[in-house]
Structures are given as structure tokens and as C-alpha cells.
Structure 1
């Protein structure tokens, strides 16, 4: 499977990118870093700068049709910048329109709210997003991982970096179902 990881150049929570990336590779899939600009993205350990990562493909020059699933890492900056980019929002929404699975951790559901794809779904996130999710028509729950199969695709969400192991296990199970 070819898995898109969407991250803005301005900053992503490193563990929420690198641990899922490694889990995808270890499962024999092909992770692809997609961003709003070519070059590199900056990762953070909370508020401290961490590593940079090379962008493989750029939103607007690629499409959901070339991927089997989407992973949205969190951090506060990443989804905040992504939800302000119409091409990134359209890219995310197209996975839902095509019935492809999506996994989002921490603050990443902000991008889902902007793409108007949480209505009728049950999901989790960093707690500060609960009102945004409810206002967008979703149901927020405080669970380590939530798998929602409302609609043609499955959505896997998780709350925070401490949940990343369970998050990876859950989305890999969902991606395996998709591949079968």
C-alpha cells in the first residue's frame, strides 16, 4: 500500500510523524511525505525544533488517487497551517470521497473539521479540539484510539503522543482491511 503522510513545512510533532512512518514501513507499505511546498518540513518536540524531513510530493501536484490511505500527524502548527491551505483541505476531503481510510492524531482533526468530514462521526483528539469537533457535527470521545466506520471509509483518531503505539496498531489493522 502507498500511504500519504500530509504535513505542513512550518511544523509537525516529530513522534507523530516518525513513529507512524516507521510502523507503515515495518508493515511493508510505502510511506510518502506530502506537503504544501517542495523542500523540507520542520518537526518539533512539542515547542522545540527537532529534525527536518524531505518532502516527496506536493499537494496540487498529486492526488488521493495515487494513495491507498492517509495519515495526518499532529502538533499544533501542522493542522493549523494545513487547514488554511485550500489544496491541502481538498486533498484530505478527497480521501473521504473515495472511501479511503484516514488516520489522524492529536490536533490533526482540525484539518478534518475544515474539510467538513467529521459530521456524524465519532472521534477523539487532543482535548482542546472537542468543541470544534462538536460544532462541526462530530461526536468527541476521550479514548486512546477511536475507529469510526461511519460512511464509506474508516477514520482512526487518537489523542496525543503517548497514544501513538495504539494509534499505529489501530490504523495498520484498518489499512490491512482496506488492502484485503
Structure 2
């Protein structure tokens, strides 16, 4: 599977990018770093700058059609920047319209809220997003990982870096089902 990992140019929580990326590679998938600008993305360890990663493709020059699945890493700033970018929001929405699986961790559901794709879904996130999710028509639950199937879509969500092992296992299982 070809999996888009969508991040803003800065603000992605490094471990929420690198652990799922490595899990996808280890499972034989092709992760692709997609961002709103070419060049590199600046990752963070919470509020401290961490490593940079090269962008493979740019939103607006690629489409959901060329991917089998989407992973949205968190970080506080990352989804806040993404939800302000119309092309990034449209890119995310397109995965749902095409019935492709999506996985989001921590603050990443902010982008899902902006894409108007949480209505009628059960999901989890960093706890501070629960009101945003509820106001967007979703049901927020405090669980390590949630897999919600609605229509042709499967959405995998998780709360925080401590949940990464369960998050990676769940999205890999869902993505494998979709590939079969």
C-alpha cells in the first residue's frame, strides 16, 4: 500500500510521525511524506525542535487517488496549520469521499473536524479536542484506540504518544483488511 503521511511544514510531533512510518515500512507499505510546501518538515518533541524530514509530495500537486490510505500524525501546531490550508483539508476530505482508510492520533482530529468528516463517528483524540469533536457531530471517547467503520470508511484514532503501539497495530490491521 502507498500511504500518505500528511504534515504541515512544522509542528508535527516527531514520534507520532516516525513510529507509524516505521511500522508501515516494516509491514511492507510505502509511506510518503506529503506536506503543504516542498522542502522539509520540522518535527518537534512536544515544544522543542527535533529532526527535519524531506517532503516527498506536495498537497495540490498530488491527490488522494494516488494513495491507498492516510495517516495524520499529531502535535499541537501541525493539525492547526493543516486545518487552515484549504488544499490540505480537501486532500483529507477526498480520502473519505473515496472510501479510503484514515488514521489520526493526538491533535490530528482537528483536521478531520475542519474537513467535516467526524459527524456520526466515534473517535478519540487528545482530551482537549473532545468539545470540538462533539460540536462537529462526532462522539468522543477516552480509549487507547478506536476503530470506527461508517459506510465505506474506516477511521482509526488514538489519544497520545503513549498509545502509539496500539495505534500502529490497529491502523496496520485496518489497512491490511482494505488491501485484501
Runs of 4+ in 1 over 3 A off after TM superposition: none
Structure 2 unaligned blocks of 5 or more: none
Q: Is 1:73 aligned with 2:105?
A: no
**Secondary structure of 2:34's match?**
strand
- Report the equivalent of 2:144: 144
Q: Taking structure 2 as the reference length, what is the TM-score of the superposition?
A: 1.00
CA distance in 1, matches of 2:142, 2:44: 24
Is residue 167 from structure 1 mapped to residue 167 from structure 2 by the alignment? yes
**1:120-141 deviation line (CA, Å, top 9, x unaligned):** 0000000000000000000000
Structure 1: tracts of 5 or more residues without a match: none
- CA positional deviation for 1:11: 1.4
Number of the residue aligned with 1:103: 103
The 1-side partners of 2:114 and 2:130 are apart by 14
Superimposed CA distance per residue, residues 52-111 of structure 1 (whole angstroms, 9 cap, x where no aligned partner): 000000000000000000000000010000000000000000000000000000000000
Distance in 2 (alpha carbons) for counterparts of 1:165 and 1:48: 23
Q: Cα deviations across residues 3-50 of structure 1 (Å, max 9, x unaligned)?
A: 000000021000000000000000000000000000000000000100
Query: 1:37: which partner in 2?
Result: 37
Q: Distance in 2 between matches of 1:95 and 1:102?
A: 7
Task: Provide the aligned C-alpha RMSD in A.
Answer: 0.3
Aligned residues: 180
TM-score (norm 1): 1.00
Task: For 2:119 and 2:97, locate their aligned partners in 1 and report how far apart those are by CA, in whole Å.
Answer: 14
